[in-house]
Amino acid sequence: MLDLFIAPFTEFAFMQRALAGALLLSLSACPVGVFLMLRRMSLAGDAMSHAILPGAAAGFLIYGLEIVPMTIGGLIAGALVATGAGAVARLTVQKEDASMAAFYLVSLSIGVVMVSLRGSSVDLMHVLFGTVLALNDAALILIGIVTAVTLISIALYWRALVAECLDPLFLRSVSKLGGVVHFLFLGLVVLNLVAGFQALGTLLSVGLMILPAASARFWVNSVFAMCLLAVGIGFAASLSGLLLSYHASLPSGPAIILSAGAAYLLSLLAGPRGLLRPLLPGRHHRTA
């Protein structure tokens, strides 16, 4: 039993770095995922994860697979797409989800073409799906900085973030923070997606953000409890995914997201607000 669960992390430094990176990402991205879900913007998060690809690809074209230039490029691309989609939604008749979809489809295509100009199919797979087992010290420092910024921002603007998610019109009527909090939130989404793409790639980084948050929704009602439970589910998915990857020789990033998907399926079926709870004898299901 010890060899099964502990030995991979005590014997191999790359497994230790992978676990540290995945846990830090869970601590940072899962609370952001809760707010994203409550704002009914889960698919927008998926769009944003694709939107960072051209910037990361630009860094790759110039410097190769270096974490700092790819991160800076991803941040710039993500900020441009988020700002552009928000501006289109505010200045035209098009809704934000449609403008976000348009921007992300163009961004994804441009990014794939840019990576293909210089790199091989292996490089493209690295950018799209990440390599959590190859995290280096620079990547861990970056993820740690993003985690610290995210947690501090959430702590400072907690009430405004909750109000903006649950009743944005009320927040705008009583405070001038509505627009500020909206763009702060989008900035946190971009930051966490950029931090996650090195480990999970641009296509899967949103999975660790959304799946634990969606799972927590079936168990608890309060936003704070949802954030805590989502982080716990993210931790469990990271640990089990890495162990599954190690013992079954599976790709590490997809294994983590599959573990998070299994937690979502379990929550969907067995959670207090899940599908099977109303069928249990002596149980009364209340929807909210």
Per-residue pLDDT of 58-75, as tens digits, reads 888 888 777 788 888 888
Taking the domains of the chain in order of start, what are their residue ranges? 2-272
Query: How many angstroms separate the CA atoms of 236 and 239, rounded?
Result: 5
Residue 284 predicted with pLDDT over 60: no
Residue whose entry in the numeric block shows the structure tokens 């480990």: 199
Structure-token pair, residue 30: 């899962």
Q: 262 or 99, which is more confident? A: 262
pTM for the model: 0.85
- Superfamily assignment of 2-272 in CATH? ABC transporter involved in vitamin B12 uptake, BtuC (1.10.3470.10)
CB atoms under 10 Å from CB of 148, counted, come to 13
Residue 246 predicted with pLDDT over 70: yes
Q: 133 or 248, which is more confident? A: 248
Q: How far apart are the first and last CA of the chain?
A: 42
Q: How confident is the model at residue 287 (pLDDT cuts 50, 70, 90)?
A: very low
Residue 283 predicted with pLDDT over 80: no
Task: Tell me the per-residue pLDDT of 122-137, one tens digit each, with 9 for 90 and over.
Answer: 666 777 777 788 788 8
Give the rounded percent of residues in the chain with a pLDDT score beyond 90.
33
Task: Tell me the per-residue pLDDT of 134-166, one tens digit each, with 9 for 90 and over.
Answer: 788 888 998 999 999 999 999 999 988 888 887
Task: Tell me the per-residue pLDDT of 73-100, one tens digit each, with 9 for 90 and over.
Answer: 888 888 888 788 777 877 787 776 777 7
Res 288: pLDDT: 44
Q: What is the DSSP string of the chain?
A: -HHHHTHHHHH-HHHHHHHHHHHHHHHHHHHHHHHHHHTT-HHHHHHHHHHTHHHHHHHHHHHSS-HHHHHHHHHHHHHHHHHHHHHHHHHSSS-HHHHHHHHHHHHHHHHHHHHHHHS-HHHHHHHHH--GGG--HHHHHHHHHHHHHHHHHHHHTHHHHHHHHH-HHHHHHH-THHHHHHHHHHHHHHHHHHHHHHHHHHHHHHHHHHHHHHHHTTT--SHHHHHHHHHHHHHHHHHHHHHHHHHHT--HHHHHHHHHHHHHHHHHHHSTTSSSGGGSTT------
Contacts 24+ apart (CB under 8 A), 265-268: 266/215, 267/214, 267/215, 267/216, 267/217, 267/218, 267/219, 268/215, 268/218
Query: How many angstroms separate the CA atoms of 136 and 127, rounded?
Result: 15
Residue 10 predicted with pLDDT over 80: yes
Res 167: pLDDT: 73
Res 282: pLDDT: 58
Residue 49 predicted with pLDDT over 90: no
Res 42: pLDDT: 73
Q: 261 or 199, which is more confident? A: 261
Identify the weakest region by mean pLDDT among 141-150, 246-255, 277-286.
Answer: 277-286
Residue 250 predicted with pLDDT over 60: yes
Residue 233 predicted with pLDDT over 90: yes
Residue whose entry in the numeric block shows the structure tokens 């989609």: 85
Residue 103 predicted with pLDDT over 70: yes
